[in-house]
Amino acid sequence: MQSLTFLSDDTVSFPPVNHALDEPNGLLAVGGDLSSKRLLQAYYSGIFPWFNEDDPVLWWSPDPRAIILPGQLHISKSLAKFNRRHNWKITINHAFDQVIHQCANLRADEQGTWITKAIEQAYIKLHHLGQAHSIEVWENDGLIGGLYGISVGKVFCGESMFHTKTNASKIAMIALDMHLQASEYELLDTQLMNPHLQSMGAKEISRKDFIQLLSVLREKNTVSDCWKPVVLRE
């Protein structure tokens, strides 16, 4: 059964994801707010917000879903060589605000941002609650790449990445993959397939299979304090 639901501010519940539309793929609901409680309920349910500046809040659960299993990230020989040659500093949760702001700027330059000011502030609140995290790549004291996402049990929901120097976002992905393995995560949700993700080993599974995985993994705990601010590589 497919039907588009209009949300109110009175509840943070969502309709079942199998109510999402086929076209546009995965559009499930419209409206509501970007409160931390609603956002966490969305990710817990396999749903994420995605909308442009002038749109109402749109909530999605596409079918199929793009994922990467930690430890199965594809690193080409040329990228591995590049990573060894460019010994950039890599950190966790040192500059979340800067990372999401840079991601917003990149999207604005390329295609019209979906990371609005409201989105920025909502995810910064999630970061302060210990639910949203960032990986940063630095050259000297300059932030040249990074990514951010949401932690839900043993699932990390990747949201966006950016780079100002070639391959810096890919280096952030390598760092994330290694960190997820060390922290006993079992799934990286990359939402929608694109050529960049496909080249790095992403694969598609059905929404049904994704929700089944999520329903188990969201209840599991990861390594304690695994997202404390640290330097992964000097």
Instruction: Give dist(CA 222, CA 181) in Å, integer.
Output: 10
Q: What does the pLDDT read at residue 54?
A: 84
Instruction: Give dist(CA 75, CA 79) in Å, integer.
Output: 6
Helices (H), 32-161: 36-44, 77-85, 96-110, 117-128
pTM: 0.95
Q: What does the pLDDT read at residue 108?
A: 46
Q: How many CA atoms lie less than 13 Å away from 184 in the CB half-sphere?
A: 10
Q: How many residues does the chain have?
A: 234
Q: What does the pLDDT read at residue 109?
A: 46
Instruction: Give dist(CA 214, CA 151) in Å, integer.
Output: 12
Q: What does the pLDDT read at residue 2?
A: 72
Catalogue all structural domains in the chain, each as residue range(s) with its CATH number: 5-63 (3.30.70.3550), 66-233 (3.40.630.70)
pLDDT tens sequence for the chain (234 residues): 677 899 988 889 999 999 999 999 999 999 999 999 999 999 999 999 999 888 899 999 999 999 999 999 999 999 999 999 998 999 999 999 999 999 998 654 455 457 899 999 999 999 999 999 999 999 999 999 999 999 999 999 999 999 999 999 999 999 999 999 999 999 999 999 999 899 999 999 999 999 999 999 999 999 989 999 999 999
Q: What does the pLDDT read at residue 114?
A: 74
Instruction: Give dist(CA 33, CA 90) in Å, integer.
Output: 34
Residue with structure tokens 């500046």?
53
